[in-house]
C-alpha cells in the first residue's frame, strides 16, 4: 500500500466533489432561467492493479450529465411573443455570428429592428410566407430567416380568387337571362326567378369593389318517368355594382357589360357537374378574380348564397399572434389576419448529449445525432404555446441536499488526505 497513493486518491475525491459542487452552483444560479436544463455529476471509479495482499488505491472520475429531455414547468405571461414548447423539440435561433443553434428559452421580445430576440440575444428563425405557404427543410436550416414582427403602416392585398356557395331553388322557372351587353341592349328586366346577390372584393390599392351576381335557370332536362328530380342549367352573370342604375342602388340597366358569365350544370340529384369555375375580368381595375361556384347545389329549398373573396382592404396591423402550429399572424384592425412566418422546431436522437453553449443554447454533435427539423405537432414534435414560458427544470430542494452531501464528502476526503499527511510525518520523524 502506498501512503502517497491514498493521498492522491483523497485529492481525486476532493476534485470530484468540487466538480459536483460546481454543477450544483450552476443549477442554483439558473433556477429562474427560462428553458434552463439542470446538469448533474456522475461518478465512476478508477482502479489500479493490486497484487497479493498489497492494495493500491485508485481514485474517482466525474462526468457531467444534462437533463435536456426533461420538461420544465410552463407558466403563462402577458406577452404574446413569449413562447414555450410543450413536448419535444427546440427553437432554432442564431447568434451574432449567424450560426443556427438550438434552445428551449422562448423569452422573445422585439428588438429595434423588429426581430424576435431572447434574453441571451439570439434571434428566432422561421420560414417566410412571402412566396406562399413554406415547406420545411428536414435535414438542414436552409430557407430560415429571422422572424420580424415590424408591420408598420397600411397593407392592401388585391383579390385574385373567391368562393361562392349556396343553393339554387330547383322550383324556379326558366327565365330570360340577365342582359350582358351595353345599355342599348340591356333594358330588359329580370324576373322574380332570377336571384341576385352581391360580393365585395378589393383592388390593388385596397379599395372595395362590389360585384352583383345574377343566377337564372336557362333550361331543364325532362326526366324519365321514374326519376323524381330534374337536371337543369343555370347562368351566372356578374356586373360591377358601381355601374348599376341609380348609383348602384337597384340593378338594370348597367352602364357597362357583364364582367363575367358562366354556366352551371346540375344533375338530377341537384349536384353541380360542370361549370364551377368562372372568372371576373374587370376592365376598370384590370384584375382577374377566379370565382369557384363548386359549392352550389340545386335543391328544393329557397335560394341562398354567400361569397368570400381573398384580398384585404388598406388596414393597419393591430397585433401579432402565434398559434400552436408555429404560424405567426399579423392581425389587422378590421379583424382579418395574414400569415407572416411559420416557426419550425428541431430535435435530435439524444437531446441529453447535445453540446451546451453560453446563452442556454445547444449544438448537435456525433453523440447527440443529426438535427431533424419539422413543424410543430408533426413527427413527434411538441406544440408551441404563445404567451407562456418554460421554466428551469432545476429542483431547488434537491440541489441544496446535493450541496450538503458534496460538502460532507469533500470534508471526509480532506480527512483522508490529512491522515496520510500525518502518517508521512511519523515516517519522517522515525529518523530523528
Whole-number Å distance between alpha carbons of 400 and 421: 32
What average pLDDT does the structure give for the chain? 86
pLDDT band per the 50, 70, 90 thresholds, residue 428: confident
pLDDT at residue 293 greater than cutoff 80: yes
Q: What per-residue confidence (pLDDT) applies to 185? A: 46
H or E stretch including 375?
Answer: none
pLDDT, mean of residues 175-196: 58
pLDDT at residue 334 greater than cutoff 80: no
pLDDT, mean of residues 18-38: 93
Q: Which residue has the higher pLDDT, 39 or 151?
A: 39
Q: Each residue of 362-409: pLDDT tens digit?
A: 999 999 999 999 999 998 999 999 999 999 999 999 999 999 999 999
pLDDT, mean of residues 281-298: 93
Q: What per-residue confidence (pLDDT) applies to 187? A: 44
pLDDT band per the 50, 70, 90 thresholds, residue 152: low
Q: Each residue of 206-233: pLDDT tens digit?
A: 899 999 888 888 887 665 555 555 588 8
pTM across the whole model: 0.67
Cell digits of residue 109: 421580445
Query: How would you write 83-124 as a 3-class SS string?
Result: EEEECCCEEEEECCCCCEEEECCCECEECCCCEEECCCCCEE
pLDDT at residue 188 greater than cutoff 50: no
Superfamily of domain 159-310: Flagellar hook protein FlgE (2.60.98.20)
pLDDT at residue 281 greater than cutoff 80: yes
* pLDDT-wise least confident of 170-174, 221-225, 316-320, 328-332: 221-225
Whole-number Å distance between alpha carbons of 270 and 292: 17
pLDDT band per the 50, 70, 90 thresholds, residue 77: very high
Q: What per-residue confidence (pLDDT) applies to 154? A: 72
* pLDDT-wise least confident of 177-186, 212-221, 343-352: 177-186
* pLDDT-wise least confident of 147-151, 341-345, 404-408: 147-151
Pick the most confident of 55-69, 70-84, 224-238. Answer: 70-84
Q: What percent of the chain has pLDDT over 90?
A: 49
Q: What per-residue confidence (pLDDT) applies to 162? A: 93
Q: Each residue of 254-269: pLDDT tens digit?
A: 888 889 988 899 988 8
Cell digits of residue 358: 453560453
Whole-number Å distance between alpha carbons of 217 and 201: 26
Spatial CB neighbours of 412, under 8 Å, sequence gap ≥ 6: 13
* pLDDT-wise least confident of 48-62, 122-136, 272-286: 48-62
Domain residue ranges of the chain, discontinuous segments joined by +: 3-67+393-430, 79-148+343-389, 159-310
Distance from first CA to last CA of the chain, Å, rounded? 24
User: Which residues lie across from 374 on neighbouring strands?
Assistant: 345
Q: How many CB atoms lie within 10 A of CB 388?
A: 18
Using CA atoms in the order 152, 156, 157, 162, what is the torsion angle rounded to 10 degrees? 130
Q: What per-residue confidence (pLDDT) applies to 250? A: 54
Spatial CB neighbours of 359, under 8 Å, sequence gap ≥ 6: 95, 103, 120, 121, 122
Amino acid at each position: 500500500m502506498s501512503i502517497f497513493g491514498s493521498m492522491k486518491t483523497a485529492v481525486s475525491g476532493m476534485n470530484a466533489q468540487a466538480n459536483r459542487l460546481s454543477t450544483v452552483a450552476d443549477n442554483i444560479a439558473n433556477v429562474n432561467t427560462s428553458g434552463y436544463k439542470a446538469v448533474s455529476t456522475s461518478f465512476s471509479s478508477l482502479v489500479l492493479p493490486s497484487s497479493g495482499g498489497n492494495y493500491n488505491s485508485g481514485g474517482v472520475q466525474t462526468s457531467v450529465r444534462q437533463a435536456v429531455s426533461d420538461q420544465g414547468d410552463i407558466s403563462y405571461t402577458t406577452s404574446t411573443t413569449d413562447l414555450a414548447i410543450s413536448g419535444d423539440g427546440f427553437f432554432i435561433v442564431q447568434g451574432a455570428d449567424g450560426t443556427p443553434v438550438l434552445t428551449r428559452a422562448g423569452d422573445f421580445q422585439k428588438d429595434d429592428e423588429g426581430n424576435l430576440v431572447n434574453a441571451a440575444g439570439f434571434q428566432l428563425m422561421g420560414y417566410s410566407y412571402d412566396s406562399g405557404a413554406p415547406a420545411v427543410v428536414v435535414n438542414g436550416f436552409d430557407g430560415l430567416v429571422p422572424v420580424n414582427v415590424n408591420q408598420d403602416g397600411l397593407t392592401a392585398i388585391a383579390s385574385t380568387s373567391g368562393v361562392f356557395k349556396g343553393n339554387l331553388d330547383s322550383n324556379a322557372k326558366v327565365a330570360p337571362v340577365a342582359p350582358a351587353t351595353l345599355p342599348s341592349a340591356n333594358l330588359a328586366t329580370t324576373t322574380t326567378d332570377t336571384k341576385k346577390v352581391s360580393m365585395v372584393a378589393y383592388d390593388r390599392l385596397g379599395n372595395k369593389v362590389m360585384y352583383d351576381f345574377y343566377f337564372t335557370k336557362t333550361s331543364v332536362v325532362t326526366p324519365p318517368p321514374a326519376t323524381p328530380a330534374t337536371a337543369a342549367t343555370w347562368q351566372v352573370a356578374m356586373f360591377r355594382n358601381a355601374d348599376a342604375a341609380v348609383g348602384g342602388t337597384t340593378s338594370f340597366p348597367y352602364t357597362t357589360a357583364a364582367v363575367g358569365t358562366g354556366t352551371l350544370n346540375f344533375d338530377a340529384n341537384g349536384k353541380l357537374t360542370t361549370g364551377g369555375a368562372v372568372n371576373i375580368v374587370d376592365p376598370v381595375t384590370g384584375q382577374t378574380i377566379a370565382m369557384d361556384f363548386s359549392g352550389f347545389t340545386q335543391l328544393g329549398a329557397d335560394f341562398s348564397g354567400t361569397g368570400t373573396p381573398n384580398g384585404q382592404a388598406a388596414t393597419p396591423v393591430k397585433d401579432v399572434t402565434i398559434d400552436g402550429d408555429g404560424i405567426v399572424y399579423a392581425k389587422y384592425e378590421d379583424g382579418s389576419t395574414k400569415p407572416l412566418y411559420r416557426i419550425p422546431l428541431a430535435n435530435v436522437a439524444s437531446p441529453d448529449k447535445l453540446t451546451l453553449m453560453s446563452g442556454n443554447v445547444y449544438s448537435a454533435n456525433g453523440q447527440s445525432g443529426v438535427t431533424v427539423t419539422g413543424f410543430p405537432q408533426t413527427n413527434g414534435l411538441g406544440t408551441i404555446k404563445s404567451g407562456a414560458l418554460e421554466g428551469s427544470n432545476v429542483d431547488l430542494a434537491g440541489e441544496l441536499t446535493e450541496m450538503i452531501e458534496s460538502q460532507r464528502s469533500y470534508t471526509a476526503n480532506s480527512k483522508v488526505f490529512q491522515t496520510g499527511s500525518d502518517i508521512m510525518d511519523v515516517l519522517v520523524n522515525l529518523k530523528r
